[in-house]
Amino acid sequence: MSAILELSLPQLHRKLIAEIDQRYRQIRHCQSDLERFAAGMRRFEEVYQMGSKEFYTRFERGELGDDMDFFEWASLCDMFRHALEDIERMEEELHDILDQHLHQ
């Protein structure tokens, strides 16, 4: 941000921009994690010729055994789900921040 623009923005707007920027960076970081987890899941899907959703259901039921690959795959599924939940939560927070500042 240029020094001229920074000086002309009221303090509230600078704070809003900083909050939005922080959330945006966090979302991008989670999206990067999500892509990494998805790539790992795809590798297992190719090896075992099974989708991750079906795998996870069968794994949770104890139908697949205790192979280390299955534990790693299940961990990737869990991390993927948590990253997706984090993104959704941060997007909601971002919308709340914008709504709050737009209605002031």
Q: What is the pLDDT of residues 1-47, one digit of tens each?
A: 444 455 455 766 777 888 888 888 999 999 999 999 999 999 999 99
What pLDDT is attached to residue 4? 46
Domains of the chain, residue spans: 27-102
54-91 tens-digit pLDDT: 999 999 999 998 999 999 999 999 999 999 999 999 99
Q: Token digits for 21?
A: 């920027």
Q: What is the pLDDT of residue 88?
A: 94
DSSP code per residue over 38-103: HHHHHHHHHHHTS-HHHHHHHHHTT-S---HHHHHHHHHHHHHHHHHHHHHHHHHHHHHHHHHHHT
